Amino acid sequence: MLWWLVAMMIAGMALSAAAGRGRLGAVLGPAVMFAVCLAGLGFALGPDGRWVLPFAPPLGSGALRLDAVARFFLLPLFGLGAMVAIYGVGYLQHAVGRRHLGVHWAVVLLLLLGMTVVFLADDGFVFLVGWELMSVAPFFLVAFDDHDASVRAAAWEYLAAAHLGGAALVAGLALAAASGGWSFDAMRAALPGSALALPVFGLMVLGGGAKAGLVPLHVWLPEAHPAAPSHVSALMSGLMVNTGIYAVVRALDVVGMPGAGAGVLLVLAGLVSAVFGAMQALVQGNAKRLLAFSTVENMGLVFMAVGVGIVGYACGLVVTAWLGLAAALMHLLHHSLFKGLLFMGAGAVLEATGTVELRALGGIAQRMPQVSRCMAVGVATVSGLPPFCGLVGEVLLFAALATGMAASDPGLRGVMLAGFVGLALVSGVVLAGMTRLFGIAFLGAPRSPQAAEAKEPGMLMRLPMMVLAAACLAAAVAAPVVLGLALPAVGVVLGAVPREPLAPFVAGVAQIATIGVVVAVAVVVVAGVRRLLPGWADARRFRTWDCGYAAPSVRMQYSAFGFAQPLWRAIGGTSVARVTVEKPVGFFPAHAWARVEPADPLRTAWERLFGGVRSMCDALKWLQHGRIQLYVFTMVAVLGILIVWRLWGE
């Protein structure tokens, strides 16, 4: 089954690339991708297995393995991948005949293949091959609209960040291979408890954090996601970032659980990332940038949960360890669902209005009601509201932090308390930010002619959104089933599942599912009864507020920045936004304005660092003199020095 799956992807890439610019190129690739994803779901739900490549790779054994960890990551990959295939056909209708969509879909299939190899790799070399495929493909996908200079810059920035993170993974796996070989089984036998274990784990966290957008390695993410087509953004933010978490989880499996200090660092790094991402999302004026920073925030929560699990294991708190890692995996799965949905919704708005700038939107709910309902589900889910699945992972993380306060070390108890309070803060900021997104973009009156003329997209774009919205509810209702998939994956790292200590928390998850069902049924009943009430069809619609004005302007609505101003001033101030104001002067002022620009101080720091590197490289350009004789002389001289050094050493 696995080889058929790989063969379908490779054949699909070749056929799609050869299909050309016409209608065939626009549908062949996504059709193959949809078929591959359906087959992949069947494969992922099948029995565990191990396969070896039919040819010998230059390093390692070339082994692939399906276990509980790989299964948990493959399910959202193929599930969301199938929805992206359908959505992408509708989203790219405008490009049929104008762009080589066959090549585009071939690269999407390459990305899918790379992620599949990463999740199935049972060998360090195979893992790195899959990682490189998965890292290179998005460069071409982000640069789809390469006529725009900002898009090209975002693509190059992504590629640089991807390979810096990849370099850390290469170093980590090469160091691990030095202990006994490239096979993960050999690493499991040699690394736990060795002096190399902590450096290898640290390098894997560094590489995975760069891919997942962990602060301060996040700077590529808010640039690449808005630049990419929306179906690509859904793939990258909903699926590709998962590979960074997978690298860390697999490192725990291969290297063994590190000490409490490593867990504390992950908890604090995740908390900083979550707080920073939530505050940045609160002030963004571009909906796709807002969602990108939301990804930074959610990946921070996942890293924090992994850190809590490590601390719990190191302190002998069995329940804390299991709850922390289970919360990380469940939140990751739920993030794939709601973030894919939200980026698809943003893409539908972009397709209908030509913009995702909040200052130009408004009134979308009346003009695109089905998209708006789906977006409302996505916003409620990311905010952790019942009856949707976003609540489940956060509740488990709260429980893990609460049980972690039983640690004997006062410092560790303080870290758990800080995490608990920080998670509560993040939840509130996220709720405010997502309320702002939906309220400004979808409610109120249109702020531009484009928003006033918006229309629903075609069924190819709406259907995947409806499926994902339903999945956000279904994953909450079926939370015990999802937890049943997560616990065996955690067991790969921690051992046999401790059923009795976890029983109260499993029962609590079942109660959350019951609450979800009750709330969902209540909403449906209330909505149905309301529509049956006399006079519902004749209800008068009127603006909610006009303050006595006979002809109020749409400019009297809350602006995107005005809505969030009290909160971001109280929490972040000038660290998250810069405000420039021209105040009204005189009794009859001619004009006045205020401009708010989101500020990312960490991005500024990276720009200064790489600006220094660029200056250093420019200073060495004299070496590129173009004289071949001197190039040859330099190589011979270096070779001679190396020979003398080698002979002298003997």
**For the residues of 286-306, what is the DSSP string, one character each?**
BHHHHHHHHHHHHHHHHHHHH
What is the rounded CA–CA span in Å between residue 431 and residue 439? 12
Q: In the chain, what percentage of residues exceed pLDDT 90?
A: 42
> Measuring CA to CA, how many Å separate 317 from each of 37, 386, 400, 618?
39, 29, 10, 54
Which residue, chain included where needed, has tokens 């980590």? 172
- The average confidence (pLDDT) of the chain is 87
| Higher per-residue confidence, 437 vs 518 | 437
Global model pTM greater than 0.85: yes
- Tens digit of pLDDT for each residue in 255-269? 988 888 999 999 999
Q: Are 91 and 16 in contact (CB under 8 A)?
A: no
Exposed/middle/buried for 143, CB within 10 Å: 0-12, 13-18, 19+?
Answer: buried
The mean pLDDT of 266-275, rounded to a whole number, is: 94
What is the rounded CA–CA span in Å between residue 198 and residue 642? 34
Residue 562 has pLDDT above 80, yes or no: no
Q: Are 385 and 391 in contact (CB under 8 A)?
A: yes
Structure tokens that stand for 496 in this block: 């046999």
pLDDT band with cut points at 50, 70 and 90 for residue 550: low
The mean pLDDT of 152-165, rounded to a whole number, is: 89
Residue-wise DSSP of 239-271: IIHHHHHHHHHHHHHHH----HHHHHHHHHHHH
